[in-house]
């Protein structure tokens, strides 16, 4: 948890603390109230996703706290980015909580005021934008170049939480949920997980995946393992 003296202190000062249960949409581009807010995600997991015409979820990115989320629409508007990019087709991506999340919500009016007056806040938003861009670019590259096995190993290491001294994947990360993120079939995820269990990398405890050998998972990523 970030303290009020941390780099996100402006959200503690100007924001409102909210607790949101899992599977709640906190940002949708057609919701005016939601597009006029941004968040500091203190803890929890949020998915950047869309729905197909058939109602199927497509997950593009998982966002884990601490980080700033849901600010891009406000930033594009405040900076008149269309002067550089021209008219761009609006995004239909939504943001949904995948676990119980603790957030600090800042109103758009406060965001614009700080953007105009506070150099430290400008730097924070610039850092958040650069970090988000790098993360999306890396995820896109990995989806094209890495095997499903490597990407699953990376997912395990990126999104575990410490619980009772153990590295545990949130229960929301079911085989189906992971398959949406990896762009593969749940059966493929099940097969890879079974192999990782057999190799002693992970175990299942009370319905959750627990990481036992982090170094082995890192080695598999480095070696480009491809479990068939």
Q: Is 82 exposed, middle or buried (0-12, 13-18, 19+ CB in 10 A)?
A: exposed
Q: Residue 82's pLDDT is what?
A: 66
Q: Residue 201's pLDDT is what?
A: 92
Set out the domains of the chain in order of their start, with CATH numbers: 9-144 (2.60.120.10), 146-223 (1.10.10.10)
Q: Which of 14, 35, 33 is nearest to 105 (CA)?
A: 14
Q: Are 78 and 36 in contact (CB under 8 A)?
A: no
Between 175-182 and 186-198, two packed helices, what is the crossing angle to 10 degrees? Answer: 110
Q: Which of 38, 61, 27, 57 is nearest to 158 (CA)?
A: 61
Q: Could you tell me whether strands 57-64 and 67-69 are parallel, antiparallel, or unpaired per DSSP bridges?
A: unpaired
Question: Half-sphere exposure (CA, 13 Å, Cβ side) for 183?
Answer: 11
Question: pLDDT tens string for the chain (228 positions)?
Answer: 344 447 899 999 999 999 999 999 999 988 988 999 999 999 999 999 888 777 777 888 899 889 999 998 899 888 776 666 666 656 788 999 998 999 999 999 999 999 999 999 999 999 999 988 888 888 888 888 889 999 999 999 988 888 889 999 888 888 888 888 888 888 999 999 999 999 999 998 888 899 999 999 999 998 887 877
Query: What are the φ/ψ torsions at residue 203 (nearest 5 degrees)?
Result: -140, 165
* Dihedral Cα 135, 91, 82, 41, nearest 10 deg: -50
Q: Residue 55's pLDDT is what?
A: 76
Q: Residue 3's pLDDT is what?
A: 45
Query: What are the φ/ψ torsions at residue 35 (nearest 5 degrees)?
Result: -75, -10
Encoding tokens for residue 10?
Answer: 């402006």
Q: Residue 89's pLDDT is what?
A: 59
* Secondary structure of residue 27 in the 3-state scheme: strand
Distance from CA of residue 161 to its chain's centroid?
14
Q: Residue 226's pLDDT is what?
A: 81
């Amino acid at each position: 948890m970030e303290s009020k003296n941390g780099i996100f202190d402006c959200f503690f000062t100007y924001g409102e603390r909210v607790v949101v249960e899992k599977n709640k949409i906190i940002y949708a581009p057609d919701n005016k109230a939601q597009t006029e807010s941004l968040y500091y995600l203190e803890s929890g997991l949020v998915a950047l996703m869309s729905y197909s015409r058939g109602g199927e979820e497509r997950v593009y990115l998982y966002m884990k706290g601490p980080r700033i989320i849901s600010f891009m629409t406000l930033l594009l508007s405040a900076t008149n980015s269309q002067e550089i990019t021209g008219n761009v087709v609006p995004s239909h991506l939504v943001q949904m909580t995948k676990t119980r999340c603790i957030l600090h919500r800042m109103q758009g009016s406060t965001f614009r005021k700080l953007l105009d007056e506070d150099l430290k806040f400008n730097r924070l938003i610039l850092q958040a934008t650069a970090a988000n861009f790098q993360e999306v670019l890396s995820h896109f590259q990995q989806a094209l170049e890495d095997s499903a096995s490597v990407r699953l190993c990376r997912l395990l290491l990126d999104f575990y939480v410490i619980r009772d001294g153990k590295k545990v994947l949130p229960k929301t990360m079911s085989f189906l949920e992971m398959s949406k993120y990896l762009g593969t079939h749940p059966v493929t995820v099940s097969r890879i997980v079974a192999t990782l269990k057999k190799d002693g990398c992970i175990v299942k405890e009370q319905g959750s995946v627990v990481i036992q050998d982090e170094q082995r998972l890192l080695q598999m990523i480095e070696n480009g393992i491809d479990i068939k």
